[in-house]
Amino acid sequence: MEKSVDFNKCNALILAYMGDAVIELLARRHIIGDGDRKISELNVEAKKYVTAISQSAAVERVLPHLTEKELQMFKYGRNAKGVHTPKSASAVDYRRATGLECLFGYLYLLGDTERAQCLFDIAYKAEE
């Protein structure tokens, strides 16, 4: 039995935590469509979708397509307190990636996986 989510009590970083998994799953589903390949090759391919730098770049492609509520959720994640910056990305890239993950977590927990897939397709079409 699934628990319902109270978005008024849900921390942005919790939504980003879920969104990270959602983006990873959508990326994996996308890349396995290319046919039979080695797992090591799939892992290399998946990194094109899940790094802070690639997610930050994806933000540029997806922003014009967001609804007002989706933009609000992106900003909620982007502006979250307590976000640490890894050595592999700038603070700006990492915050934008956290915002994207927050948005995808929100959509998943809302049950709108169709919209999440649509935004994933828009966000990563340049990766093709």
- Catalytic residue numbers? 20
Alpha carbon of 30 to those of 23, 24, 80, 90, 127: distances in Å?
10, 10, 29, 27, 11
Handedness of CA 80, 85, 89, 91 (dihedral sign): positive
> What span, in angstroms and rounded, lies between the C-alpha atoms of 96 and 3?
28
